[in-house]
Structures are given as C-alpha cells and as structure tokens.
Amino acid sequence: MCYFSLIAVLWVVGLAVNGDFFVCEKGFLDDQFTQLQQLQDDSNPNFVVEVVSLFFEDSERLLNELTKALDQQTVDFKKVDAHVHQLKGSSSSIGAQRVQKVCIDFRSYCEEKNVEGCKKCLQQVKNEYSLGKSKLETLFKLEQQLLDAGGSIPMQ
C-alpha cells in the first residue's frame, strides 16, 4: 500500500517537474492556464480547481442550450451566437485553446446562418471539451494524491 503511493508520488512529481507536459500535450491548455496556476496562493489554495469547476458547469449548460437551439425548426442564430460567444470567452480565460479555436469557426457559421456548419462545430466543441475535461480531472486527481501522500505541487 505504502509502496504504491510512493510510486504514484514519484510519477506525479515527474509530471509536475516536467512542467506542462501532461495537460499541455497536443496543446489542450495554453499559457493562460499557467496564469491561473500562478494566481493560486495560500489565501485561496483551491483557486484553479474552483475556476475550472465553474468552467465545467457553465460549459455543460451552454452545450445543452446550443444543442436545443440548433434542433429548432427555425434556428435563432443570434441566440446560438450569444452562447458560443460565452463559451469562447470562458475557454479563452482558462486556457482551453482547442475549445476556443472551434468556437471561432462556430461563430463564422452563425454569421453565415449555416445550420449544418454549426451542427458540425457543436459536435467538435463537445469532443474537444470532453477530452480537455477528462485530462483536467485526471490532473487534479493526481495532484490530490500527491498532496495526500505528503508532497507539494511545485508551482512554475
């Protein structure tokens, strides 16, 4: 039991020391995420997890709204665009650059009132979002294991 934790700790330390190898692989998160990590301090030691959790909740709400809006007989592109604008904003603020990139294309399709294009983008956003979310959740779990094992997270 103890041996296993030690291995986990060493592995996570390796990842953490390696800097952004893990989550930034294939460019999921950009420098903005690092900015958030640097904002975290003793007065708010859970800042990053809190912001990212808010992002998950808000994004899932927006993705549901988008699905509903694009399913309508007559699509309200103004509404769709407003939702995508929100999603683009929050993903940019936490550094989720792949989600943000798809949102840019998504907004172009909205402007063109292209339903098929929009639906395609929605699917892409959902994919990128799921991928990013599972990576972040894994990162947080590993960080927690490291903290539980008595280690500390080296901040960049």
The footprint of other proteins (CB under 8 A) covers 32, 35-36, 38-39, 41, 43-44, 47, 50-51, 54-55, 58, 82, 85-86, 88-90, 92-95
Nearer to other proteins, 62 or 139 (CB): 62
Nearer to other proteins, 9 or 80 (CB): 80
Which are the contacts of 22, defined by CB distance < 8 A and separation ≥ 6? 15, 135, 139
Give the N- to C-terminal CA distance of the chain in Å, as an integer: 30
CB of 115 to other proteins, least distance (A): 23
Three-state DSSP at 76 gives coil
CB of 135 to other proteins, least distance (A): 18
Rounded to whole angstroms, the Cα distance separating 49 from 71 reads 33
CB of 54 to other proteins, least distance (A): 5
Rounded to whole angstroms, the Cα distance separating 59 from 51 reads 12
CB of 1 to other proteins, least distance (A): 38
Nearer to other proteins, 5 or 32 (CB): 32
Q: How far is CA 39 from CA 24, 49, 94, in A?
A: 18, 12, 12
